[in-house]
Structure 1
């Protein structure tokens, strides 16, 4: 069959399995792995081997970038300490323990080779966390697991490269530390720059298709130069995604962002599914290589199971003190909350008093605006600290969350790809590659397959719509207040400088007040068309939506509401704005 035929067949399999999975109550990624394994042993199917550079350099950058764009940066920032502990400390510990164990279990390999394989099986997989997202657990748990899987690749790949280098030359602890620091610092710097340039360029482009096309190359623009300079291209892609996701609502049009989301969701489905399918398809080739190299399949299977068990035990032992430290940080935060509240009150009172006072002599309008912006920034920072303390205290992890945090640490495509990057001269290479596959496939199938059951047993399944109903109503009231304040401003004008008719403003105020009782109140378009010009109505609706958006983004900066409520409100605003713009365009 031609390569195009295989691609078409693969897409059809992905679609069929994705549609079938909910009906049989099995996660689609697990079914795809099993389908791949079964197909790989069919006589008509040749042994399949995938160049690890394709996975690490072509597949993962866009997937990590897309996940970072979708991740609320507010939640990521709040748990950055825990994420850093897991993505650095846990990987280092797992690499050391598994590496030493493998030197005892696999004859003929040295410590450097054992550490290389230990580094390979240590990081959790970003693609595998899709199973966690679908389990309807706490959003904070999902954030920690996704954040860990995004960043731990940098630690693991630096350790892998250092261990491979150590098989041929002497490598010092200082050189490894220096490589790691450079890998992270250079990646964050380049990723931040790429994210900012991405937004700056796309904000100037009005063609939706071109705008989305640019987004498709952003992860590679971040990845390639970072890797060339010896940094972590994957962390650079993640950083670019976080910067883009945070500032896109301010810089990009609603239409462009919704188009981008639709395209990227489709790509995510196809690429993620292909990763799991190809992962299973490689098993026959790995088994054949072990047999061809006169290795023992039984030994590889047993050692793989032991290595998988070992990383799970190490993760358990690491998570326990990590949760204890997390609770200590929450307790310290609660102790200083009262002082922060006093500071917030003082800053708010000072800012309110300054608004009523005349402009100081010798200060021009620009200087006054800078002073007011500085006061607003200080107040926002204090409110953000208070919100962080309240969030971490309300969403504190207990033993049940700790159990799930341990069990959800699955390995996947990164492990399978990275272990195949071992040099061809590595002793018992085929056995080590199969061990890596057993760890990845075993944790994915066992832990991923039982994860929904474990969530139910622990009672961690949540209904976000029911939990956030009251919060979303409170958020809506705040947005209505921002709109009414904007409508009451005497300088409110249309884009051409002409004032709005007073009866239009009165009706807009009445409608905003009515939405407090009924947020889904429909617009009376027929009445608007008969009494007011469409152009005036369109301009006023866009002004109202802009006031809501500005207030929403300020509340996001303060962290006053959950990211789920803020994201849902932003989606509603985007949909309304696109509708108004389309009606205005058709009317014109």
Structure 2
């Protein structure tokens, strides 16, 4: 089939699968894998093969970047120890365990090469997150799975590169560890720098130009990092997190709205495309295996054994993670925080005015109070959403393998012994994991009788109402600020201020004209400033903060469009 008709049919399949997934209750990527598997046997299709570098370089950086931009930063920070453990320590442990298993059953591979395949099989895929979200599981579990899938791909690829280098040059523990650490550190540095430059440069552009430039940011982070010997995927994630956290302060409302829509579309097409490719490549991989191994029987046994080991290690690791949550340590931490808070409250009112630099003293006190408030909010979060054994079971079973496993397997050197067998094994691990775990995850949730957060929205509604009250108070305080008329050149007369105050307090719908729209934009700015303060304090969930940001952006874009039409 020619390229253009194939692309058209692929986009159609992705769009239809996405629509069907909501009606069938099955994740779109699982449908696309099945469609690809069926289509691979059609006589009109030849053996289908995609250069793995196209996926690793052309698809994964923008995919991970798009997910990182939307990452719930508050929850990610709170569970960073758990996420980093799953994404780094668990991947390394799993790779070594699979390496030992493969060395026993395929001694001709050698341990470094066996570890390389272990690194290929170890990372979980982001498709688990979309399935768990739809099931209404605790947002904390979703954040942990999402954060893990963002980072563990890069960990696995850095480990894969280190293992292949050890095969070529001989294994040296210190060199391998040094290569691994450098790959992560260099990537974080480059990613943060690129993300910061992205914020500053695009903030000075109009929306269309800024959107066009935004599409190349993942690759700008990826390419120099790879040149320096780091992980380009970690750099793309770091650039995405930096951009996502700075967008509320740096970008215009129109830019944020544009970015969200465009990156969601890009993510849908790229993610759907790679899962469709997974299914389409089956025929060629099986043909290669029949020529070299006389059938897939050995690969199936290796895949089942490897998957069982991966799940067993993941279960043990997650059980330890749940057990060592440090409940007693948090109780002691709350006591210490209460003591610090009491000391801050006991300071005399004129304390900040003492000393040689009262302004610096005042800023330090405000910073300390903010950190204490954030620490209290963190503890409240841990107590309100504890991780129990049922949540741990979901985290274990949701650790599905996917695109990275297949793409990375095909980057194994051509001279690798049993290469066709290893590639088919990786493919089977990914497909069996996706279909078995993905299709049975809803049944597992029902069997565990985990309460659905989607069914009970009262707490979320209360949180939204509390945040709305905070923002309205910030806007009303801004209206009552005696410096407002002076700061704005005396443009706001008493009537306009009265109308604006009525709109805030009583939700009146009358239009006060162009001057009132300008005042509304000013008040939206006051609300957004308060929103950023609340975000830093961690008093509200990222979901509620982000939804409020979307509403403010939508209101601002609408007002600005009406101003431009006048």
Do Structure 1 and Structure 2 share a fold, with TM-score over 0.5? Answer: yes
1:172: which partner in 2? 172
CA deviation after TM superposition for structure 1 residue 504, in Å: 2.6
Where does 1:342-421 land on structure 2 (aligned, <5 Å)? 342-347=339-344, 353-354=349-350, 368=359, 370-421=360-411
| Unpaired stretches in structure 2, ≥5 consecutive residues | none
Please say if residues 295 and 431 of structure 1, whose CA atoms lie closer than 8 Å, have aligned partners that are also in contact: no
Q: Secondary structure, in 3 states, of the residue corresponding to 2:547?
A: helix
Q: CA RMSD in A?
A: 2.0
Shift of 1:389: 1.2
581 and 293 in structure 1: CA distance in 2 versus 1, 3 angstrom threshold: same
**Match of 2:316?**
317
Q: Return the offset for 1:360.
A: 6.9
Distance across 2 between alignment mates of 1:197 and 1:384: 28
Conserved? CA contact 1:199–1:248, under 8 Å: yes
In structure 2, what is the equivalent of residue 481 of structure 1? 473
- 1:201-222 Cα offsets, whole Å, 9 max, x none, are 11111x2111111111111111
Match of 2:293, SS state, is coil
Matches within 5 A, 1:540-579: 540-579=519-558
The structural deviation recorded for 1:557 is: 0.1
Instruction: Indicate yes or no: 2:98 matched with 1:119.
Output: no
Contact in 2 for aligned 1:52/1:418 (Cα 8 Å): yes
Contact 1:492/1:499, CA 8 A, preserved across alignment:
no
Q: 2:208 maps to which residue?
A: 209
Partner of 2:108, secondary structure, is: coil
- For 2:254 and 2:371, the matched residues in 1 are separated by 31
Q: Which residue does 2:462 correspond to in 1? A: 470
- C-alpha displacement at 1:442, in angstroms? 0.7
Post-superposition Cα deviations, 1:514-567, rounded to whole Å, max 9, x if no partner, equal: 3xxxxxx35222xx2xxxxx2320221012111111111100100011111111
Q: What does residue 457 of structure 1 align with?
A: 447
Q: Distance in 2 between matches of 1:548 and 1:537?
A: 16
Query: Is 210-219 or 153-162 further displaced after alignment?
Result: 153-162
How many residue pairs get matched? 564
Q: What are the superposed Cα offsets for residues 383-404 of structure 1, whole Å, 9 maximum, x if unpaired?
A: 1111111111211100110000
The answer to whether structure 1 residue 581 and structure 2 residue 550 are counterparts is: no
Q: 1:338 aligns with which of 331, 335, 339?
A: 335
> Per-residue CA shift, 1:414-446, capped at 9, x if unaligned?
000011111111111000000000111111111
Deviation, structure 1 residue 168 = 3.0
Separation in structure 1 between the aligned mates of residue 108 and residue 194 of structure 2, nearest angstrom: 45
Number of the residue aligned with 1:517: none
Is 1:227 aligned to 2:226, yes or no? yes
Equivalent position of 2:11 in the other structure: 11
The structure-2 alpha-carbon separation of the partners of 1:165 and 1:509, relative to structure 1 and needing over 3 Å to count, comes to: same
- What is residue 524 of structure 1 aligned with on the other side? 510
**Aligned partners of 1:137, 1:403: CA distance in 2, in Å?**
12
**In the alignment, what sits opposite 1:142?**
142
Question: Are the counterparts in 1 of residues 91 and 119 from structure 2 also a CA contact under 8 Å?
Answer: yes
CA distance in 2, matches of 1:228, 1:126: 27
Partner in structure 1 of residue 259 of structure 2: 260
Separation in structure 2 between the aligned mates of residue 23 and residue 258 of structure 1, nearest angstrom: 28
Contact 2:61 2:233 in 1 (8 A): yes
Residue-by-residue CA offset, 1:288-311 (whole Å, 9 max, x unaligned): 111121344111111111111110
Between the aligned partners of 1:491 and 1:512, the Cα distance in structure 2 is: 20
Deviation at 1:496, TM superposition (A): 5.1
1:448 to 423, 429, 438: 438
In structure 2, the residue corresponding to 1:293 is in which secondary structure?
Answer: helix
**Alignment partner, residue 279 of structure 2:** 280
Other structure's SS at 1:152 match: helix
Change (3 A) 1:346 1:477: farther
Deviation of 1:128 after TM superposition, in Å, equals 4.7
For residue 538 of structure 1, what is the aligned residue in structure 2? 517
Check 1:54–1:348 CA distance in 2 against 1; reply closer, same or farther (3 A cut): farther
Quick check: 2:524–2:556 contact (8 Å CA) kept in 1? yes
With over 3 angstroms needed to count, the CA separation of the structure-2 counterparts of 1:506 and 1:348, relative to structure 1, is farther
Contact residue 129 and residue 410 of structure 1 kept, 8 A: no
Q: 1:462, 1:56 → 2: CA distance? A: 35
Three-state SS of the structure 2 residue aligned to 1:204 is coil
For residue 127 of structure 1, report the CA deviation from its aligned partner.
Answer: 4.6
Question: Matches of residues 24-43 of structure 1 in structure 2 within 5 Å?
Answer: 24-43=24-43
Distance 1:5 1:349 in 2: 73
Question: Residue deviations 1:19-57, cap 9 Å, x none?
Answer: 222223322111100110111122221111121111111
TM-score normalised to structure 2 length: 0.95
Counterpart secondary structure, 2:124: coil
Distance 1:248 1:568 in 2: 14
> Is residue 29–residue 127 contact of structure 2 (8 Å, CA) maintained in 1?
no
